[in-house]
Amino acid sequence: MNATSRSSLRGLRTFCIAARYESFRTAAEELFITASAVSHQIKGLEQELGFSLFERGTRDLKLTETGRSFYEEVNPLIEKLDSIAAGFRAVGKRISVRVSVQPFFASELFVPRLSEFTAEHPEIDIQVGSSDETPEKHPSDADLSIRLFKKPPADMEANLLFPLRLVPAGSPDFMRELTVKKKQITSDFPLIVHQTLPKAWKQWEDDSGIRLPGNSKVTRLDSMIAVVRAAEQGIGAALVPVPLANLWFKQGSIVRLFRQELVTKVSYYLVCSKEHSRDKGVQLLRDWIIQNFAVEG
């Protein structure tokens, strides 16, 4: 099976869930991805098929007549495939691995690619937890976790994935209104601040040499997903993590306001409790995460 067919199958499954609820947001919650990722998959499927599946209103989403007919034909096939796969998974011994991932990492990088791992290892059940963004802590009920640390816990096995790099971003309209003279931002520049990174904008200002306005309005939010969505809506400028936000940049819903990045003193680490580090499922998932997400150098 080539990459295009794999992409189409994923898009078909996403379409069936979105069609069932006639909501990208509800489908995103069921699939543990963002609504923008659902929209991106649907658009890709529509381009492959050559016709529109949904009528997109300002407040609602409805299937087109062709889209509804397509759903009625495709959904039974997807349910049959899921049933067949479930039957084969039940034959062998089940292995369960619990992994805790910070929410934005989970929604933008980990969960969208997790199907690659489960396709290779259908005998392994993955339990993903992403309930909070608490840094410097490995949850006691997890076999593995992806967390931000200055230094990983000494009593655990850890692998560096990549440092937290932040870049100023905003909506395209916000970018068009931005003016800078002699490295001083002279236009209105409201700031969006993540509560766990209260000094990040000042650090970026010091590192970049670009001066922020002294009287900027500040909006404080407690999750990175909320921060990026606020920037997308034009509420202000946000420091967003790369490469985690790359899909948002690719789709054009947010754009880089400046090329200068802030490389913070914390990094994403894959942390594993020594108690479970030799378990087969844990080893396989750990190797896959390192292969796919660790950045060398």
For residues 171 and 38, state if they share a domain. no
**Is residue 131 a contact partner of residue 104, using CB atoms and an 8 Å limit?**
no
The one-character DSSP state at 211 is: B
Does residue 207 have a pLDDT over 60? Answer: yes
Does residue 93 have a pLDDT over 70? Answer: no
- Amino acid 6: pLDDT: 46
Residue 23 to residue 49: CA distance in whole angstroms: 20
Highest-confidence segment of 88-97, 152-161, 262-271, 276-285: 262-271
Q: Mind listing the pLDDT tens digit for each residue in 116-135?
A: 999 999 989 999 988 665 66
For residues 138 and 284, state if they share a domain. yes
- Average pLDDT for 57-72: 90
- Amino acid 88: pLDDT: 66
For residues 159 and 270, state if they share a domain. yes
H/E segment holding residue 147: strand 144-149
- Average pLDDT for 37-59: 89
- The CATH number of the domain holding residue 49 is 1.10.10.10
For residues 138 and 259, state if they share a domain. no
Collapse the DSSP code of 232 into the 3-class scheme (helix H, G, I; strand E, B; otherwise coil) and give the result. Answer: helix
Least Cα distance to 113 among 260, 7, 250, 219 occurs for 7
- Amino acid 261: pLDDT: 96
Q: Mind listing the pLDDT tens digit for each residue in 252-284?
A: 999 999 999 999 999 999 999 887 788 889 999
For residues 219 and 230, state if they share a domain. yes
- Amino acid 131: pLDDT: 67
For residues 274 and 132, state if they share a domain. yes
- Average pLDDT for 62-79: 92
Final residue in a domain of this structure, among 49, 67, 90: 90
- The CATH number of the domain holding residue 152 is 3.40.190.10
- Average pLDDT for 72-93: 77
For residues 76 and 110, state if they share a domain. no
At 130, list the tokens.
């992403």
| Phi-psi sector, 182: left (phi>0), alpha (psi -120 to 50), beta | left
Final residue in a domain of this structure, among 55, 90, 125: 90
- Amino acid 30: pLDDT: 82
Per the structure, the count of domains in the chain is 3
For residues 233 and 250, state if they share a domain. yes
Residue 161 to residue 267: CA distance in whole angstroms: 7
Q: Domain limits at 79?
A: 3-90
- Average pLDDT for 55-61: 85
Final residue in a domain of this structure, among 90, 123, 153: 90
For residues 56 and 76, state if they share a domain. yes
SS3 labels along 170-208: ECHHHHHHCCEECCEECCCCCEEEECCCCCHHHHHHHHH
For residues 184 and 261, state if they share a domain. yes
For residues 113 and 251, state if they share a domain. no
For residues 282 and 151, state if they share a domain. yes
Least Cα distance to 245 among 129, 107, 65 occurs for 107
Summary mean pLDDT of the chain: 89
Residue 156 to residue 277: CA distance in whole angstroms: 9
